[in-house]
Amino acid sequence: MGLLEGKVIAVTGAGAGIGREEALLAAKNGAKVVINDLGGARDGSGKDSKVADVVVEEIKKMGGDALGHYEDISEEAGGESLVGKAVEKWGRFDGLVNNAGILRDKMCFSMDNSEWDLVIKVHLRGHFMCARAAAKYFRAHKEQGGAIVNTTSTSGLLGNAGQTNYAAAKLGIVGMTSALHLELGKYCRVNSIAPMAYTRMTSDLAIAEMLKNYKPEHIAPLVIFLLSEKAKGISGQCFGVFGPYVQLYRLPRPVCDWKADGMGWDPAKLAEKAGEIAKAAAAANWAYMPGTPIPEDKKIKF
């Protein structure tokens, strides 16, 4: 008996890389899996249903059950059919893994409108379209419960030169996760992960050599856990995962403040604090960034 025995799970962008490993491990843990993938290139161009079909056959050869889904999840029809086909075939829906994404990397001054729009559409709108479809099902079957796992990135949490579009979409997914958690708390759990792994999406990044030790299969166990009943009570959180590490991220919170003498500040008074503010800002840039191990003395103790 696996952690997802009897559950029906959909994974977007499941034809390769992290999504494929998430889908395969879900199946190994007893889930029936919808394999969504347009089968396009890394930049989103092209289409090939065989990409999803290969993973479907892998799961069936393992003795599991899966079906392919080839629609664009950034469109309403794609999100609705992702859930609808699962319910039509297996009579229920239990979990969504929003993983699909593309890259159109360029420095902001060289990025054209289409390169911005498409990345935002696939990542941010795509997450929303699928999450909304899942939310409708979970709300109608609130006695059943369910789980949504979204995929953000350290590029969104920290920024990354050449990825203004991608970083904006990925940080937007963090905000979306927090809002969905508040809206859907009665019906399902919603969390996000920030994975680091060597895939076709990261193979030409500056940190690619370091990432070769971090594989897509290292990401999937956390996702399976978050989809399972064992993760009840865990919602609205953002987790980092890479290699042997799973980290819980605390998103921006106040770390320092200044109070004016009266009810408000004026620019000149703030300017007097410029050195102090700059020093505090520098100190707030953690030495242990997301995607690096946390020093023992900085960890929460249980």
Instruction: Express each pLDDT in 256-266 by its tens digit.
Output: 899 999 889 99
pLDDT confidence of residue 302: 72
pLDDT digits (tens, 9 = 90+) for 205-230: 555 566 667 888 999 999 999 999 99
Distance CA 221, CA 200 (A): 20
- C-alpha 262/C-alpha 146 separation (Å) is 50
| Cβ partners under 8 Å of residue 252, min gap 6 | none
Quote the pLDDT of residue 251. 81
Predicted local distance difference test score (pLDDT) of residue 185: 96
Q: Which residues contact 22 (CB under 8 A, 6 or more apart)?
A: 11, 14, 97, 99, 219, 220, 223, 224
Q: Is 187 a residue of the active site?
A: no
Of the residues 70, 166, 187, 214, only one is catalytic, namely 166
Extract the tokens encoding 64: 């599991």
- The pLDDT assigned to 165 comes to 98
CA distances from 281 to 38, 244, 256, 286 (A): 43, 31, 9, 10
Q: How many residues does the chain have?
A: 302
Q: Strands 238-242 and 245-249: what pairing?
A: antiparallel
All residue ranges of the chain with pLDDT < 50 are none
DSSP state of 124: I
- Give the residue ranges of DSSP H helices in the chain: 17-28, 50-61, 76-90, 113-120, 126-140, 154-158, 164-184, 208-211, 220-227, 267-272, 274-284
Contacts of 25 (CB under 8 A, 6+ apart): 217, 220, 221, 223, 224
- Are the beta carbons of 239 and 246 closer than 8 angstroms? yes
Task: Quote the CA–CA distance of 153 and 173 in Å, as a whole number.
Answer: 9
Domains of the chain (ranges; CATH) run 8-249 (3.40.50.720), 254-302 (no CATH)
Residue 151: name the closest of 97, 225, 82 by CA.
Answer: 97
Q: What is the pTM of this model?
A: 0.91
Query: Minimal CA–CA distance to 227: which of 23, 9, 81, 1?
Result: 9
> Which residues are paired to 189 by β-bridges?
147
Q: Which long-range contacts (C-beta less than 8 Å, at least 24 apart) are formed by 59-66?
A: 59/23, 59/24, 59/27, 59/33, 59/35, 62/24, 62/27, 62/28, 64/27, 64/28, 64/31, 64/32, 64/33, 65/27, 65/32, 65/33, 65/90, 66/23, 66/27, 66/32, 66/33, 66/34, 66/35
Question: What pLDDT is attached to residue 62?
Answer: 96
